[in-house]
Structure formats: C-alpha cells, structure tokens
Amino acid sequence: MVSNSRTSWLSYTVALVVLSISLLASQLGYMQPLRDVARNLFVPFQIVMSRISQAVERSAGGLQDIQQLRQRIEWLQAEVNRLSVENVRLAEVEQENLRLRQLLNYTRNNPQYDYRTAAVVAQKIGENPSNLLFTIFIDVGVRDGVAPGMPVITDRGLVGRVIHAGPNVAEVLLLIDPSSAVNARVLNSRVTGVVHGSETGELIMERIPQGEVISPGDILVTSGLGGTFPDKLIIGQVTEVLRRDADMFQTAHVRPTVDFGRLETVLVITTFKPLETDLSGSEAEGGSTNP
C-alpha cells in the first residue's frame, strides 16, 4: 500500500517536473514544432465541428419571426458597416485630396496593401480554449501564402494578426486580446494613441495626449505607425473618454466594429509585409506583447 502511494507520488512529481521543463522549453520556442504537428492533426476535426456549430447557430433561430428579425438586423448591420466603410473611405478621399493639393509630390503610401486584391479568404475553425486569451485558428496556412505578422480583417474592420502559421492552419491573435496592441488614430482629427485589448473583451485606447480632443462617436483606424499594420483599417468607435488632469494621457473605451463572438469568415492580407518580423516585439508597435 505504502509502495503504491510512493509510486503514484513519484509519477506525479515526475509529471510535474517534465511539464515544468516543457514550460521552459516552450519559452525558448522548442515546443512549436510539436504544436504544429498536433494542430495539423486537429484541423479535420476542428473543421467538422466548426461546420456543425455554424449549422446549429444558423438553425437555432427556430421561430420564423425571430429569424426574420435576425435577418433584418443582419441586413441593417451590414448596411451600417457598408456605410461606415464608405464614410471612412470618402472622408479619407476628401482629406487625401486636400493633402494632394498641398503636396504636389504626394503619392499614396503603400498601395499594395489594398486588401480587395491581395487577400486569402479563411474560415475560423477553432479558438483558444482559455477564457483568458483571445486567439482563433483559421483554415489557411503557409501553403496558402499566409505568414506570421499578416493582418486579418473582415468587411467590418480589423480582426487581428497572424502570430503563427503552420502548413494548413494559422493562429490569429485577436485585437481584443490583452497582449494585442495597435497604433491607432482618430479618423478626422488625426489624434493618435495605442489600442489594446483587455480581459473583458473590450478595446481601450491609451497614450492619447492630454491636449488632443477626442469624443465619443469618433471612429478609430489603424495609423500604420510602426509598420506592423497597414493604415486606414477600421478598428472601432469611441464610446467613452476618461480625462484626468493629473494624468499625462487620456484614455478612451472603444467598441470594436467587428463582432468577435460571431467570427466565421475572415480575410488575411497576404501582400502586407510587416516591418517587425519578430512577433515577440514590445508593446505599442502594433503587435503582440507576448513573450
């Protein structure tokens, strides 16, 4: 009996030691090949399960009027999104036109980032099982031209960026993850700051200089600073501004335009080459603050 107890305690201790070593090894990047192999094995199951869940979600409506209301809401949301995007585009065109008049040598920066002509369509097939971290898996990988650092978007706006790409599957760090940070600016006033996620799934814009004017309703887009995201991708809308004289910066709460709870199809901008290839880079460079 005592021997059995000793054996089980010994095996428990050995397991803990081995796992602790693997924890350290993963910090050094040695466990990623194992993850790649396992994730590739999981992909077929994840695809099947995500299709089932999508089918369940679509058929769960049940009652006809609820279905019709849902469709109406979806149509209205799509219309709002379309108009928001159109509005952003027109405002950008207007401002661009103004700048072009002022600067004869102006040329639009980075035209190759136009996602309409350089994107890979992907389906979400799974998500991070932890409630503390926000990443998803998509069914495209290196074989489709996807690489770490590439931005991921929907028609509503920015979703996040690829942090790891296997042969057939890629992991995307969502904008709402606490370790995500994106350089952003207010569309019309050009006020800049850093948008990052939080444990609550909300977006927070920080490092807004005290003197700048930012108000609820302002639309935020990526600024392109740091070179890790293309500019002018819609992030969200300011809902609340926290301003205290004692602080060096203002803080704003932001409602993302993307509904992260209902992500299905996304686009990966494959032509964008981030300046910082090291995804373990520090904060405020538009990337992950993960180690």
Partner 1 sequence: MLALVLIESSWGHLLGIGRVHPDLVLLAVISWTALRGAAEGWMWSIIGGIGLDLLSNAPFGLSAISLLLICLFVRLAYSRVYGTSLVLPLLLTFPLSVIYYLISMLFLTLTGFPIDWNAALLHVVLPAALLNVVTMLVLFPLLRALHQRTLPRPSI
- Residues binding partner 1 (CB under 8 A): 8, 11-12, 15-16, 19-20, 22-23, 25-27, 31, 34-35, 38-39, 42, 45-46, 49-50, 53, 56-57, 125-133, 135, 137, 163-164, 171, 173, 178-179, 198-201, 261, 283, 289-291
Q: Which two tokens stand for residue 39?
A: 């994730």
List CB contacts of 45: < 8 A, sequence separation 6 or more: none
Give 6 or 108: the residue with its C-beta nearer to partner 1.
6
- Please count the other Cβ atoms lying within 10 Å of the Cβ belonging to residue 281: 20
Toward partner 1, which CB reaches closer, 46 or 250?
A: 46
Q: Are 141 and 169 in contact (CB under 8 A)?
A: yes
- Shortest distance, position 130 Cβ to partner 1, whole Å: 6
- For the chain, the residue count is 291
CB of 285 to partner 1, least distance (A): 14
Among candidates 145, 172, 167, which has minimal Cα distance to 37? Answer: 167
CA dihedral angle for residue 206, residue 207, residue 212, residue 217, rounded to 10 degrees? -20
Nearer to partner 1, 10 or 93 (CB): 10
175 versus 186: smaller Cβ distance to partner 1: 175
Rounded to the nearest whole angstrom, what is the least distance from the CB of residue 32 to partner 1 in the complex?
9
Burial of 14 (0-12, 13-18, 19+ CB in 10 A): exposed
Question: Measured from the CB atom, is 42 or 115 closer to partner 1?
Answer: 42
Q: How far is the CB of 11 from partner 1 (least distance, A)?
A: 7
Residue placing its CB nearer to partner 1 in the complex, 171 or 218: 171
Q: What is the CA radius of gyration of the chain?
A: 22
Distance separating alpha carbons of residues 176 and 171, to the nearest angstrom: 14
To partner 1, the closest distance from the beta carbon of 197 in angstroms equals 9
Helix (H) or strand (E) holding 46: helix 32-59
CB of 210 to partner 1, least distance (A): 23
